[in-house]
Structures are given as structure tokens and as C-alpha cells.
Amino acid sequence: MSGGVDSSVAATLLKEAGFDIIGIFMKFWNPSTSLRTSSLRSSEQAGENRCCSVESEKLARLVANQIEIPFYVLNVEKEFKKRVVDYFLKEYKAGNTPNPCIVCNKEIKFGILIDRALKLGADFVATGHYAQTKNRKLLKGKDKNKDQSYFLWQLNQKQLSRVLFPVGNYTKPEVRKLARKFNLPTAQTPESQEVCFIDNSANNFLKKYLKTNPGDIINTSGKILGKHQGLWFYTIGQRRGLEISQGPWYVVNKDFKKNILIISKNEKDLLKKEFIAKNVNWISGKEPKFPIAAEVKIRYKSAFAKVRILKYKKNSVKIIFEKPQIAITPGQSAVFYAGQQLLGGGIIVD
């Protein structure tokens, strides 16, 4: 229970259905202070109120009291810092653009939390994710605008066997309506679009932990146009924050060997027909027969794109688009779907 409307309604629906439930609020690491109370969001993505606040815990506790269930606070600050935040910084330093929420789901919410819940005698862990399961298959949520299955591609069969998504077959407006019906104190909590451990912007956060490393900004013809302060402060497809005149300019590449940022005015320079994905996970637990005709999302807010998936190397695949796609970004997740079913995913390499 994060103190947001989705997890609050999820808990209430289960209680109404006759489940014997407990509420767990998770305390995460926060840069302001290691003792600051925080909560697990299902990410950008989760449709929950701003976490990392004392208010979130208060709201979660109020809901638990109202629906008369036990309430526990689980401190995972050290684990969160090591497995999620350190990963986030390491990937940026390597020139990638990671999605920490996906790692958080695998390692914390559906890793540590499931383990602790089972020790408390629970049979399942329920969350406020907009996703669905059926026969240990992971499916999209009913609400196309709020579907969060994308963030769950690293889950395995063991985890799926212990997971319930009570709001997965509802739309967000329907969840809000239910919250008002149940008179929950979280009924009007605002949407959050922030990574939970970043208070302001990703760049401001990175500047606290990564040193500046100035280098040249050039165009695709090799002309020097300015200076950057560190390649990790930029992501492929970025347009804002370049401070180069006569734009708009787009970041099209990063040369770490030469410490050069490459930009272009031509958005078509961002188009690519194929890429490699590593660390591939198949939800079924078994590698499928290749090639595969599927649809892929290369970032949470991107549209589905038709592709062929080919075997590349061990735990890696080659993705070939039917039509070239824009701003394929190393470090982001490519997630594979067949209709409503999420097949698996991988980390974009190049």
C-alpha cells in the first residue's frame, strides 16, 4: 500500500471479496535523508500519489484503518539503494538511459516483498498495477492509457504465481469512482510522474553523484557547435536543454571513446530499422521458437510497433521493425507482445 488510490482500491476490493489481507507500506532510500519515509510506486506509471513522503504513509495507514486490516511498514532503504539507485547511476555513467522502475518491480516489489509476505503467512501479494494475469500469463491492463504491464517484463513464473492485480480489469476513471464509493481518503490523490527517488529532475540528481566531464558537441558533419558537461546528462532523442542556437537540435548519438555528443536538426537521423536487446526474459520461462512475429514497445509511452524477433546470441535477440522507429535508446526496455499477452522483454543495446 503506497498511499495512492490504486493500491487503496486494490486492498478494498480484496477485503470486500472476503480475502484475509494485511497492508504493507515500503520505506525506500531517498537522497534527502536515509531515514525519510517513502513508498513504493509502480513507477511513473503507477498512477499513485507522490511517494517518498510522510504523507503517503499516513494515507496508507488511514486506508488500512478504515477497511480494518493490519498495517506494517517494511524498511528496504539499503536494498533499494543498492539494487535500484546504484544500478540507475551505473547505467547512466555507462551512457545508457535506464528505467529504474522496472528493476524496482523485479528486485523489490516482486522480490523482497513477496519473500517477506510469504514469511508473514501470506499466499499472494496484491498491487495496484494496471495489468492482468491468466494461467500464469501476463496480460495488458484493461485501461489502454494506464496499462503497466510494460514495467513487469522481468517477472518470472514463480513470481507470477504469487501475484494478484485487483485493478487490472478496471480503467482509471472506474478506480476513482470505486474510491469515492468506498469513501477512501486517497480518492483524490494526484497522479505522479516522477521517479520516486528523484525530487526535481534526473539531471540535477545525476549532478550530485556523477562528475562533470566536458567535451565537444558536434553535428553529423563533424562541426563543433558547443560544449557538453558530461555525456550521461543526455539521452538519445533529447531536444531540450542543448543550448545550441538555430535549433531545434536532437541528440542522435554519444561517442564515449572521444567524449563527443552528436546532434542533428534532422529528426530522420534518429530513425533505425533494427537493434539488439540483451538480458532477455521470457515470461513463460522458456525460449520460444524463432523467428517471432510480435509487437514491441521501446519505451513506456511509445506506440506498439510490428517486428520480427530473431535469435542473436545467448539471452539476446535482434529486433527488426516493419517500419523504422525513432529514438531507440540504449538502456531502455524493449517489451514484446502478442496481442494482449506480454511475451517478455530485454534491454536495448544498440
- Catalytically active residues, by annotation: 104, 196
SS3 labels along 256-272: CCCCEEEEECCHHHHEE
Count of residues in the chain: 350
The beta-strand segments (E) located in the chain are: 23-27, 71-75, 125-126, 131-134, 137-140, 163-164, 215-219, 224-228, 250-255, 260-264, 271-282, 292-297, 305-311, 317-326, 333-338, 341-348
Beta bridge partners of 329: none
Q: Is 20 exposed, middle or buried (0-12, 13-18, 19+ CB in 10 A)?
A: exposed
Q: How far is CA 97 from CA 158, 206, 224, 349, in A?
A: 29, 12, 24, 11
